[in-house]
Structure 1
Amino acid sequence: MTLAKKKVFVAGHNGMVGSAIVRKLNLDTSIELVLASRSELDLLDASAVARFFDAQQPDQVYLAAARVGGIHANNTYPAEFISQNLQIQNNIIQAAHNSGVQKLLFLGSSCIYPKLAVQPIVEEALLTGQLEPTNEPYAIAKIAGIKLCESFNRQYGRDYRSVMPTNLYGENDNFHPQNSHVIPAMMRRFHEAVQQDVKEVVVWGSGKPMREFLHVDDMAAACVHVMGLPRNEFLAVVPDPMCSHINVGTGKDVTIAQLAGLMAKTVGFEGDLVFDSSKPDGTMRKVMDVGRLKRLGWAYDVGLEHGLALTYAWFLAHLDELRG
């Protein structure tokens, strides 16, 4: 007798993180992936999402769909960042509960933490201070998602878990020169500088802020690991229902200036680096405490220099089809 495959819905499967989760789950022959593109399912439409769940009846959900972007995008489109993210996560989590889905993984962001949080940032720092103003609308939406999962767990006994990644990068990222995150935006600028034989590259900010970066394949592996943990093992490390989210990162950070140096080395740029201090730095330091995740049995594998090389190889292979 053949056992039925477990149906797993990955919301946002065409995005950077969602596509990495799909690649990871495709290695498991006991899983049947349930996927829907934006043209097939509008996640902003609550009725459409409800109908989709009723029809598909997934066993598990990875909620990787979100409106995302860097400092420029967050500053320019704050209304869309809060409203669309709230709608997407509310629609999916509510539909999952209504259709009887017991296990769901919600993907948040390290920007949920206070701007002046003690470093490295522990999970308990959530809601203990003011947020970084440049991405506050997005952060508030993600905090609401965490609390929505916690509330369904408390009231209905669901097993909805949340993971908070540090800054992610890797294949299938958005390489728009202004609306993307720091690594893809920087990679594109440095690449174009080499192609155009430009003698200097301008880097936004002072170069002094410190950031932590995690390759997207490591993020996908962490997500699948956390989702697959038996409930008793998960609760042995994460016992507090009001602080149930988990940091995902490397626990190591570099300055933006160091990152720029690594990027120059990766793409073969030999010119000068100029730091534009008129552009916002954002939080001066942000590195995650990943002790909880280590106690759950997972640690990162891809170092930053190697990860940048992998990302640049993918970038070169997909130049004609890059988003942005």
Structure 2
Amino acid sequence: MPTAPAKEHALADATASESTLRRFLQGLPGVDAVGLEARAAALGTRSIKTTAKAYAIDLAISMIDLTTLEGADTPGKVRALGAKAVNPDPTDRTTPRTAAVCVYPDMVETAKAAVAGTDVKVASVATAFPAGRAALEVKLGDVREAVAAGADEIDMVIDRGAFLAGHYMKVYEEIRAVKEASGSARLKVIFETGELSTYDNIRRASWIGMLAGADFIKTSTGKVGVNATPANTLLMLEAVRDFRAATGVQIGVKPAGGIRTSKDAVKFLVLVNETAGADWLDNHWFRFGASSLLNDLLMQRQKLATGRYSGPDYVTVD
């Protein structure tokens, strides 16, 4: 199901002014924190076995945005990351490719060359990632640089200071401006949920992002203490489900940061299936932002195939 600009859907009137947007957001149901965390915990106890586990591992691999976002990133490191995204396990060519590689704007061209001729996308963080503390024109320049270099996807950060100060329309308008600057690239909007303090704020941020035309809503940068959790991801999955019910527009979800093991990934896939539904069990609509998760998935995949646990020496070091 395609995404659509905010002005085309049934809730367009909610963004007519600062006052209407505030009224809409404050009218959203309050989040029962205890209930939310209990449901997330209960879904995390589901047991996935044998063929279902093998399917889930391959699905999780195909949903990874394989990421390097460090000041010490080099062209060589990015080329190696691209090679791993295209061929995660050189000993088993049936291993799925990852969905994308995610890099800084100045590394997009290198990443693009590394995955050329494949369906692996290149995502680029932008808008003064990770703090987002820059003038709008600087942020838009960041986006345009990444798109000009060939980025298929843009991962932007919202202005958390503006959001927490209650300047919801400023946040909305900035997302709209970034969406326009992104052109044909899909836009993922990062809320940095660990800095939003409350589940009610995460719900409101989710709706601002969706109303503004985000193609994905994303939990975190991976650069703060609290990143993706089952509870905050469950809340965002409820938001995209409810948004599609209200508008007919489907939007993706990307938990990022802190998801390191196959067991974690499978728990998140259960959340997707039980909350948003099977329509989101596809890398066009659900992603993992991760760097180390892939290695554990590969080790578990090898164990299912051979009956032996290979260990970390049998996968490449990122």
Q: TM-score, normalised by structure 1?
A: 0.30
Q: Higher helix proportion, which one?
A: 2
Q: Higher strand proportion, which one?
A: 1
